[in-house]
A and B are shown apart, each in its own frame.
Chain A
Amino acid sequence: MERWTWDDFNEPTSDTDEVWQQFLERLRWEERQASEEFVFTVSQLNEYVRGLISDDPVLQGFWVRGEISRWQVYQSGHAYFTLKDEASQVTGVMWRERLAYLQEMPKVGDIVRVFGSLRVPRGSAQHPRGGEFQIEAERIVKEAQTGVWWQRFEELRQKLQAEGLFDEARKRPLPQFPRRIGIITSLDGAALRDMLRVAQQRHAGVEIVIFPSLVQGDEAPMALVAALQLANSETVRQRIGEIDVLIIGRGGGSMEDLWAFNEECVVRAVAASRIPIVSAVGHEVDFTLTDFAADVRASTPTAAAQMVVPDRQGWLARLEQLALRLNQAMRHRLRSATERWRRLAERRCFTDPTSLFADRRQLLDLLTLQLDKAFGRNLARWQECLNEWQRRLLAASPTAQLERWRERLGRYDDALRVAAQKALQRRQQTLQVFAAKLEALSPYAVLQRGYALVRDPATGRVVTRSAHLTKGQIAEVLMADGQLQVTVNEVVTKDGKDAANL
């Protein structure tokens, strides 16, 4: 490969990119050469991983839950175990010193919570070790047992569930604003402190009634049942007042510590509580049968108090909101009422009220006048009115108008008469002309020349054929100066048959 200097890159060339790629390639090649000179030994690799793990803060103090699948205490006093769940497992060790603090030795099958850190053990020449990690356990807390108790828990759960004790339909809502809250717990426990602190913060106005009870140990179940019965009792209702909601619970602990809340009598008493009830047993992860039987399960006593004690600030805010809405609604209503009033006010009867009364007022005047008249009390005024009307009538007299009309009528009359006469003359002339023409056409004019007309007196028709008359029939003969009444002697038609003689 050709040697080049940095100067080559200072001058831009047409193939700068190509040169740059070559340069990068060379750098990579040199790097590869260098890295191949460093090779981990196995120990070094494991050591490197050790460092990574021990530097990680999460892995240096954590809780892990699992089932003990192996538990072995060596002669050295150290315990070695394997923790597993459905799909995975991890090994661990608990040193002798830590083991001494364990209250109870874990057994295979126990569900435990382990607190510890992760480490990668170093091997030695005699005992070479693989690059595996293990838990260095500091505490092991038993969570549940596959033993008798766990079995009892499951059996009781199934039994009570079948009875419907845990049904969703049985759950009652909690009152939004309880006046009196009952708490069933130990007077000495942290749970009570937590709940009272929350109540203080949220709404100290609420009354809290504590029904102390043992929450742990053999006597706890009966104590809890007694407290539940007391809280629900008529005596308490009369002496203290109605308890609006109950909280039953205690702080966190082992499965055994919480066991009282799994006892059948306690669970049944919780389910039977007349007062709505919140369970608050242990921590988030702890479940007891009391939780199933209560109306509401709170994850912790603190959460229960937050659930039950109304938040004064929240209520104040809500009240403020309601007050605002109330005022807005009122303002809106008033505005619309004002608007309607304004629209009404704009109507004529209000803007010009006299118009409403004008007619009536006039009528009133008239009636008053009539009244006056009737009582003859105001004749003078009436007379005055009359005079006034008379004067106005005279002023408006139509005499002159009539005269004018009469004159005009006279003129029309003359013109009409002349026109009528002219029209009449014209008609007469026309008539004479027509009469002369008519005369010339008249059959009577023909009669003047010696002809005669034969008419059937019965029908008044002119007889035009000899056959229309019969012998002995009477006929009329019209002549110019008169008429004859004749009897037919004989009928003779032109072809000679039955010719008649007149």
Chain B
Amino acid sequence: MKQIIRITVGLTISCLIAALVMGSVFVITDKAKRHNEHVNVQQTMLGLLGYSTSHPAPPELKLYSIYRYIFTDGNVNTLGYVLPVLKGGGVGYQLMEMDLDGGFVAQYPLDLAPEDASESAERSAALRKAIKPPKTFSYADATIVAKLGEKRLAYLLPGEFPGFKTFIHVMLALDPSFEILGLEITEQEEDPGLGAEIKQDYFKNQFKGKSFKKIKELHVVKEPLPEEYKAYLESQKGKESPIPKAELDVIRSRYQDKDIYALTGATISSKAVTDGVKNMVAKFAYRINRLDKVISARNIPAVF
């Protein structure tokens, strides 16, 4: 009996100390960690729009996030969009509910400060205040609209899809006509040397410049990547390229409407990315068109 108590007390104390250490480190580091993640995402987005430290983004560039939720009320599903809108001279948020056929259902004011909108906990709290049970909501995805002055510059879509091993997380940039401006692989755990090559310029830049029409019928071809195309793809990173610009344009036009060349030994990963991107673009184009229609029909003062 004495032994039982000694062991129990000993382990409990060890666990308490460990928990205290981990807890306090978490509290100290959490803010910096979230800040880093935020900076990281921001850099990826600006990079996709073609901005870097040597070519910084102009101050007129604004990024607005739209969050999509799925509302469930018994058997009925509706879509809820958390939209950035003009509110008293600044930017505020509003919730707009839409049925699955694109019809307007309702709009609600949201008590959500712009600086809190990127926190999912803050958004959930605001949504909980706006929607009454038994209606429940679940987060679906986010879209970032980049605006330069009054003009929409690009859509940035964070997304994920299954790869060969685990989920591949990407960030996709589309221009207003849904042509791909760039693709960035943000997280992946494919095989090094094989599937992990999806993050190399010579693969991911193949998507750059593909038109909306081409994306719909994009395939993967198992052919070796032509040398000149590879050189062109690897020059697409803002670095000085040894190939003259005129020649680059010729190469670009030659391969513009070609399919995606599969990676050697990683056809499944190549296909996963291609299909994933195809899917994201098709779904997004459908959704944003419907959303825009409702917004203009109901005169919602959306800022994006």
Say whether A associates with B: no
A interface with B by C-beta (< 8 Å): none
